[in-house]
């Protein structure tokens, strides 16, 4: 006769924080902010031949993370995080307005605000305690709202920043896959190669002076402008 069955039980670590769980949930592809529908100008760059293989896609994403919209978002996230941590709603408003204003094209502005609004609505529905009830802006920059809720959830700033930038890069890799530029294994090779780029961008953002705020990825800006009038397209940016 088989021996008696023993029930398996799982117990959480007594000092476990919900912060890591929430960070993973908020950065998951399943979190409904519509990130899959944006290519950040990559679709136009692919159509024009500027991005056509693994090396060119890796170079394109690395530039965006370190010198483009990723740099802008990193600075906004940090400012919003620190403002929310200190309960400074006026400073949080300033960070959010900067995030809304410093977008080089209509599509990139739409990408930031639509994802921000979706992130805000979902957080309020599922994690209401993670948000600042008194803060109700008319439009929300994604990196600003992400920084604010990360602060409220007790997530370390460095973790939130690296997670956000890795997710930014991963969304662009996913766009490259769907555009047929690369295959899945090459996509993972790109993400592995971008690990020091993301880490370096996060470190630079944490030590950067406010006067150095800005971006310089003109090829990506031009690609985004071209995408606005592209006849056949899969993505919204």
Tell me the per-residue pLDDT of 89-146, one tens digit each, with 9 for 90 and over: 999 999 999 999 988 888 888 888 999 999 999 988 998 877 777 777 888 999 999 9
**CA distances in angstroms from 122 to 125, 147, 153, 180, 210, listed in the order given:** 5, 15, 15, 31, 31
pLDDT at 138 (0 to 100): 86
pLDDT at 145 (0 to 100): 95
3-class secondary structure for 16-55?
A: CCHHHHHHHHHCCCCCCCCHHHCCCCHHHHHHCCCCCCHH
C-beta of residue 142 within 8 angstroms of C-beta of residue 115: yes
List domains and CATH numbers for the chain. 62-225 (1.10.4190.10)
**pLDDT tens, residue order, the chain (237 aa):** 455 544 444 444 545 567 899 999 999 989 998 888 878 889 989 999 999 999 999 999 999 999 999 999 999 999 999 999 999 999 999 999 999 998 888 888 888 899 999 999 998 899 887 777 777 788 899 999 999 999 999 999 999 999 999 999 999 999 999 999 999 999 999 999 999 999 999 999 999 998 898 888 888 888 888 787 877 777 766
Dist CA 129 CA 149 (whole Å): 9
pLDDT at 3 (0 to 100): 52
For 132, residues 6+ apart whose C-beta sits below 8 A from its C-beta are 84, 89, 92, 148, 152
- For 90: left if phi > 0, alpha if psi spans -120 to 50, otherwise beta; the answer is alpha
pLDDT at 235 (0 to 100): 73
CA angle, 78 then 80 then 81, to 5°: 65
CA dihedral 189, 78, 17, 164 (to 10 degrees): -20
């Amino acid at each position: 006769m088989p021996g008696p069955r023993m029930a398996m039980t799982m117990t959480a670590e007594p000092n476990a924080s919900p912060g890591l769980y929430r960070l993973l949930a908020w950065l998951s592809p399943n979190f409904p902010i519509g990130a899959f529908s944006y290519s950040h100008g990559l679709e136009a760059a692919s159509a024009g031949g500027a991005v056509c293989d693994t090396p060119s896609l890796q170079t394109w994403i690395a530039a965006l993370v370190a010198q483009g919209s990723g740099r802008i978002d990193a600075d906004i996230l940090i400012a919003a995080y620190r403002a929310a941590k200190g309960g400074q709603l006026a400073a949080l408003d300033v960070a959010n307005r900067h995030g809304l204003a410093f977008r080089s094209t209509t599509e990139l502005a739409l990408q930031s605000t639509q994802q921000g609004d979706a992130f805000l609505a979902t957080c309020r529905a599922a994690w209401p305690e993670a948000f600042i009830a008194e803060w109700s802006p008319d439009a929300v920059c994604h990196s600003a709202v992400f920084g604010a809720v990360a602060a409220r959830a007790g997530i370390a700033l460095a973790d939130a920043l690296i997670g956000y930038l890795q997710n930014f890069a991963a969304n662009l890799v996913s766009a490259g896959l769907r555009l047929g530029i690369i295959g899945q294994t090459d996509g993972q090779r790109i993400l592995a190669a971008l690990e020091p780029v993301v880490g370096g961008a996060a470190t630079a953002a944490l030590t950067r002076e406010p006067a150095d705020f800005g971006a310089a990825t003109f090829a990506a800006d031009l690609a985004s402008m071209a995408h606005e009038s592209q006849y056949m397209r899969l993505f919204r940016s």
